[in-house]
Amino acid sequence: MRRRLAGLALALYPLAFRRRYGQEMRALLDETPPGVHTVLDLLRGALAAHLRPPAGLGGVVVLAGALPLIVLALNHARRERSLRMLVSLPIVAVAVFTGLTGILILVAHSQHSQHPSTAGGIAFIAWGLAGLACGAVCVLASRRALFAIPVLRGWLLAAFACGALVTAAMVAITIATAIYTIALSVDASALAGEPNGPLQATSVSISLIEQLIVMVIAGGLAAITTRRGWRALSQPDAAQS
């Protein structure tokens, strides 16, 4: 039964993936009887293989919508000193958070124990709080900068159209992650309880739940922002034309 489920899970991979790796994976499944963990890993891999192209496309969509606004903000910041701080704050925040992430990775690789430690848990919580602070700085500074400069209506239309597409993708990925979290907790409770994360500070299930919370909050904020943007654009004086 599990061998058949593993074969069905393998069939869910994209065609290009199955043509390149399908024969090798089938040989591995024939040599080693697949367990529940193997089936779940195959399902997760199939989901990731299908989500990677849309994720890349999502990055292009975000860049297409945000790039004109970023160029406009930078152009005004060169002429107005009051905008320079607002424009530079997101860059500094992202740089600091990237540095903290690098430090966390170095600390995680330096630890030889596979069991979570108090120091590791504190470091992980501090890193999470730093990520939230970085996101808040980026949102608030960008919001104030955009409100301080005139934006053409056409650019706003493009930005909010891209925002709507990205919001829909975020909702779809959140739903898929929720389904996977439930399936993992029901079918593989032992795997769900194993330590996870760079410092082994949380379990697999807790990590997924934390990700879901962040995804729900981010998706909700994106939906609210996009809805308010479209409503504002419906006003005759919403933006300069």
Per-residue pLDDT of the chain (241 residues; tens, 9 = 90+): 667 777 777 777 766 566 667 777 777 777 777 777 777 777 777 766 655 555 555 555 565 667 777 777 778 878 887 788 888 888 899 899 888 888 877 766 665 555 555 666 677 778 888 888 988 888 888 878 877 887 777 777 877 887 788 888 888 888 888 888 888 788 777 777 777 655 566 677 887 888 888 889 888 888 888 888 788 777 755 444 4
Q: With respect to residue 241, please indicate whether it lies within any of the assigned structural domains.
A: no
49 inside domain: no
Residue 239 lies in a domain: no
**Are 9 and 114 in the same domain?**
no
Residues 40 and 71 reside in one and the same domain: no
- Do residue 90 and residue 12 come from a single domain? no
- Residues 4, 122: one domain? no
Which residue type sits at 210? Answer: E
For residues 167 and 224, membership in a common domain is answered with yes
- Helix (H) / strand (E) element for 162: namely helix 153-187
- Domain match, 151 and 105 both: yes
Phi, psi for residue 159 in degrees, rounded to 5: -65, -45
For residues 28 and 132, membership in a common domain is answered with: no
Same domain, 116 and 15: no
pLDDT at 27: 78
Residues 16 and 119 in one domain: no
What is the structure's pLDDT at 155? 77
Q: Distance (Å, rounded) from C-alpha 66 to C-alpha 95?
A: 19
Residue 97 lies in a domain: yes
With beta carbons less than 8 A apart as the criterion, state whether 3 and 33 touch: yes
Q: Would residue 151 count as lying in a domain?
A: yes
Task: Judge if 22 and 109 occupy the same domain.
Answer: no
> Which residue shows structure tokens 């997924």?
208
Which residue's entry shows tokens 């990590």?
207
The answer to whether residue 238 sits within a structural domain is no
Distances (CA, A) of 33 to 2, 3, 36, 38, 133: 8, 7, 10, 9, 47
Q: Within its chain, how far is the Cα of 216 from the centroid?
A: 11
Q: What is the pLDDT of residue 47?
A: 67
Q: With respect to residue 40, please indicate whether it lies within any of the assigned structural domains.
A: yes
Based on the fold, state whether residues 83 and 25 are members of the same structural domain: no
| Distances from the Cα of 190 to the Cα of 35, 45, 115, 186, angstroms | 13, 19, 16, 10
Task: Answer yes or no: do 191 and 212 share one domain.
Answer: yes
> Within 13 Å of residue 83, how many CA atoms lie on the same side as its CB?
19
The DSSP code sequence of 65-133 is HHHHHHHHHHHHHHH-HHHHHHHHHHHHHHHHHHHHHHHHHHHHHH---SS--HHHHHHHHHHHHHHHH
Domain count, the chain: 2
The whole-model pTM stands at: 0.55
Do the domain assignments include residue 204?
A: yes
Provide the residue range defining the domain that includes 9.
Answer: 1-44
What is the C-alpha separation between 65 and 84, in angstroms, rounded? 22
